[in-house]
A and B are shown apart, each in its own frame.
Chain A
Amino acid sequence: MAEPSEPRAVDRLWRIWPSVAVVAIVLTGALLGILIIPVVQGRSAGIDAFTAICRALGILPGSPASPQIPNRNPPTPVSQVVWTPSVLQILAEAKPERGRAKVQEVCTACHGEQGVSVSPEFPNLAGQSGTAIYKQLNDYHTGSRTNPLMTDIAKALDGSTIADVAAYYAGQPMRNPNPYTLGAPDAIVQLVELGDPNRNIPPCAACHRQGAGGPIDAPVLAEQRQEYLTSQLKMFASGQRRNDVYGRMRAIAAKLTDSEIDGLAAYYRAGLR
């Protein structure tokens, strides 16, 4: 034991040496990780020391140990809509009353004033997700999605008007949010709730149910026109409709059988969610 007259000396040693050791360990790590390893690895790949160090620190893209492949740059995107804060701001500031005026002028003839369509091949819009309507109208406007009737109508609308129309229809009476799955065939309910991992089909509910945390432009399907849903799924399956980003719906629809498409359309038309 240290003698009582030297406790300060012992204390000082115990302060100095651990501090030196800890800092030395971290600095050794830094020397190896920032300097030695990247430079040596870069040398074997023909990368100069400065670039290798920048890559290892993350200041430049690429690995310090491999050459970086050059990029290819081409063609036409499938949808021009980008969900940036400014676009979301436009949607947040949209005015449903202005939307109502435009709707009465242009949309009522097919989609109805309350958003219940006049004919089965036109979709219902009441209570539809505002972001979904916004995206589809924009895609019609830019040509990412085509339809003999909608293309000309959408081309005449500008961004803020589209947002107003979307806000108006989104504000129309909400449907029943808590449906039961009574009466639907088990296989269809299974597709909606569990999907099919064997065919890479996620549950429909994983994107199309409110609060699921899926893509923000996923449309509400409940109480939609059965004929419209069937036709859209078939158009996705054939590739005729292509404005789903990265082919999410095209990939899924192509794997559904005809009877599944009919069953799902019937399920959602019944207000089941």
Chain B
Amino acid sequence: MRNTERLCLAHLWLAFAAFVGAAVLGAWQMWVRSPLGAHTGTPGDYYMSVTAHGVAMAYVLSTFFIMGFGYFVAVTALNRPLPGKGWAWAGFVVGVIGVLMALVTIGLGKASVLYTFYPPLTASPWFYLGLVVVVLASWVWCVLMLVSLAAWKRENPGRPVPLAMFATVANAVLWLWTTVGLAVELFYQVLPAALGFVQTVDVGLSRTLFSWTLHAIVYFWLIPAYIAFYTMVPRAAGGRLYSDTMGRLTFIFFLIYSLPVGLHHLLMDPEHGNSFKFIQVLLTAFVAAPTVLTIFTIPASLEIAGRLRGGRGVFGWILALPWDRPMVLAAGLSFVMLFFGGLGGLINMAYGMNAMIHNTAWVTAHFHLIYGGTSVIMYFAIAYEIWPRLTGRQHQSLAPLRWQLWLWFVGMMVMTLPWHWLGLQGQWRRVANFNYDNPIIASWGPLVIVSLAGGLVLLASALLFVRNLAVLHRSVLPAPTRSLYALAVDPPRRVPAALNGFGLWNVLVLVVMLLAYGFPIAQFVVAPSPSAIVHRTE
């Protein structure tokens, strides 16, 4: 299995290299926005940085981490070699080419359209082509996950798929569905405009197609954290998973309900009426369900571990947990951030409250907390957990790992909590230069500086993370051999076919997407928006 280890490491190192670069840019952006850095940096520099930061964190860190982790799970959870390793390496090389195309174009200032691109603002076609290439590479990964699963099921007829792999394949299926919106927007609208074949863009349609991808992608990012919650955290704590069935249902819920809810990103948009906005808000309430279910199942699993370690009383088991283990510590910190981020999400989906915070700093705070906080801290923990397997070496000390996780948590809370408050005050997004002479804006200055401090702590944590991994490569301790995935309290001998595969769920996703997105997209075919002239930024 040697080659698979290098395959995983290649993906993960690319992800983390992009992460560190983006962290530096993020800290610079916080500085320029604050009163301390006012008037430094032109808007051209700032929006180039925002684009690079967004693309690196949202498209490179996430996609390549998930691919690398996915290959790892496919090999270790299924206990068989990865099929199509040549394809996997080809996909990686193609992905690297795509990343370079996109990042170099951004660096030349020809793509300051932000990671959410805003047609009719149109960047150099190399930028979009680079991202298309990255998506194609990720589709190779999706296919290999499906092939892996199919091969295992042929060799193990009737047996339940190990939960870690079931969840990974759920994520791969979700990603295939998710990228459809973005792919159609790019191929049908944005690339023709960028290449000069058309001079106008139907902006209502492009926003709707992007919204298809925009919500589901955040669950694509979140699911690896949940894979860790359900399989790695209970084992790291020394316990068992409370319910295997609930785990499967959680991932199935994510698959069905994270797609047909994209319109909740367009609640304040004029191209849709409130019927379909309401329908998708109702469906959004259901995508909250798997998280709330998890909030029970995982602490229940940890309670088992705590009581096995001698914890007594209603809460004594919490103290008895092995918090010195990075995976357990990260899970605890992640849950705290999930609480705040999740509440923020519930507020965002209720459109009465959404009107208060749409496109304010609240939104920025929310997604930094829920993605940068809840998800990415688990990416760190997963990396720490699987790196010994990948390198054959063990961490010499766990203290720097814990320090790094605590710094990330503290930095994230200090950066995002004041940001939420500033959003409620009306501070708006994507400003290169605030006018601190205005008294309203001046009153925000102190909290912006507090956020900046949080951002600097995050930068320190990011550097420490990379250092911890780099040091492990040179460690002299051999890696222990131990299982990575928890057993359920009652491991099933058989699960219903619906909980062991995705045939039914794909059909349901198709049905739900037709019902939820059919009319909103079809209206642009029947009655296209008056189109807007392309504005080129290269």
Contacts and interface: CB of A to CB of B under 8 A. Distances in A.
A58 interface: yes
A74 interface: no
B121 A216 contact: no
A216 B499 contact: no
Interface of A, secondary structure class, is: helix
B537 A212 contact: yes
A33 B279 contact: yes
Given A19-B504, A33-B278, A57-B275, A26 B283 contact: yes
A33 B274 contact: yes
Contact of A26 (B113, B497, B516): B516
Interface string A9-30: 0110111001100110111111
B477 interface: no
Interface stretch (B38-46, B74-82, B302-310): B38-46
Interface string B411-439: 00000000000000000000001110110
A213 B537 contact: yes
A88 B508 CA distance: 46
A206 B43 CA distance: 8
Contact of B519 (A2, A53, A57, A214): A57
A134 to B, nearest CB: 14
Contacts of A59: 273
Given A19-B504, A197-B433, A25 B535 contact: no
Interface of B: 39, 42-44, 109-110, 112-113, 121-122, 198-200, 252, 256, 260, 271-280, 282-283, 286, 433-435, 437-438, 492-494, 496-499, 504, 507-508, 511-512, 515-516, 519, 523, 533, 535-538
CB-CB nearest 6 A-B residue pairs: A197-B435, A58-B273, A33-B278, A213-B537, A14-B496, A14-B498
Contact of A190 (B39, B113, B523, B536): B39
Given A25-B283, A193-B42, A198-B438, A19 B275 contact: no
B279 A26 contact: yes
Nearest to B500: A11
Contacts of B198: 85
A11 B496 contact: yes
Contacts, number: 133
B437 A198 contact: yes
Given A18-B504, A85-B198, 15 more contacts: A4-B494, A14-B497, A18-B252, A18-B508, A19-B504, A19-B507, A22-B511, A22-B512, A25-B283, A32-B282, A58-B273, A194-B43, A194-B433, A211-B110, A212-B44
Contacts of A57: 273, 275-276, 519
A148 B375 CA distance: 67
Contacts of B523: 58
A237 B383 CA distance: 61
B352 to A, nearest CB: 13
A92 to B, nearest CB: 9
Contact of B42 (A26, A29, A37, A203): A203
A197 B434 contact: yes
A226 to B, nearest CB: 24
B512 A26 contact: yes
Contacts of A22: 256, 508, 511-512
A34 interface: yes
Interface string A89-128: 0000000000000000000000000000000000000000
Contacts of A2: 494
B287 to A, nearest CB: 11
A10 B373 CA distance: 40
